[in-house]
Amino acid sequence: MSSPAPATTKGVRLPRSQRRAQLLDVARSVFVRSGYHSASMDEIAEQAGVSKPVLYQHFPGKLDLYLALLEGSCASLIEAIDSALNSTDVNHDRVRAIIAAYFAFVDDPDKASRLVFESDLTQERAVRSLIDDANNRCAVLIGEVIADETGLDSAQALLLGFSLVGLAQTSARAWLADGPTLDREQAQTLAASLAWRGISDFPKGNTSKD
């Protein structure tokens, strides 16, 4: 059964902030389904139930609209990793929370993660910059905790931060692409177990679980 078309508000005047949010929701579904190059402002306006001039009042061009969506998705990922790190003081559970955050991000029904991890516009400098910045900031957040908990210097801890980001992201995307054949909790546990066995080799007064 096909998914229902996004709800429109044709002929209904909305406050500017609500209209912008509605346009972003519709545009997200179009970009995720069609990719940047195949999506059109005409289609987005039609599905949103607005005229093209109204759409252009909010977003001067298709790239501006795409960047607004991408920026929001990247911010959501960074916030999720920050929340995961601050959700517990137990390092074993921190690793599990980081892995779970990536799995939740890719498994979100709106599929916003595809804009971050599967963009067909990475040759565009502004797009690449947002994606790289999101990955870097997640790695920095993780690296800061690793440095604090292990006594490693900042460069070493940052490298481990990037390693954990890579493991979490790749595992989550592979799990989703596979069907998935494993339930999410089982897949997260496997990935977190692998990550923890590596990170726990750098202890410093570590009282968390083995």
pTM for the model stands at 0.86
Give the closest residue to 141 by CA, choosing from 156, 127, 162, 113: 162
**Domain 71-199: top CATH class:** mainly alpha
Residue 189, token pair as written in the block: 């546990």
Domain chopping of the chain, boundaries: 16-60, 71-199
CA dihedral (204, 145, 139, 173) positive or negative: positive
Q: What is the pLDDT of residue 2?
A: 37
**Four-CA torsion 154, 160, 162, 163, nearest 10 degrees:** 170
Q: What is the pLDDT of residue 4?
A: 41
CATH of 16-60, one of 3.40.50.2020, 1.10.10.10, 3.20.20.70, 1.10.10.60: 1.10.10.60
Q: What is the pLDDT of residue 12?
A: 61
What is the DSSP-derived secondary structure letter of residue 180?
A: -
Alpha helix segments (H runs only) across 4-124: 16-38, 41-48, 52-58, 62-85, 91-106, 113-117
pLDDT, averaged in runs of 10, over the chain (210 residues): 45 78 95 94 95 95 96 97 96 96 95 93 96 98 95 94 97 90 94 93 57
Q: Which residues contact 153 (CB under 8 A, 6 or more apart)?
A: 147
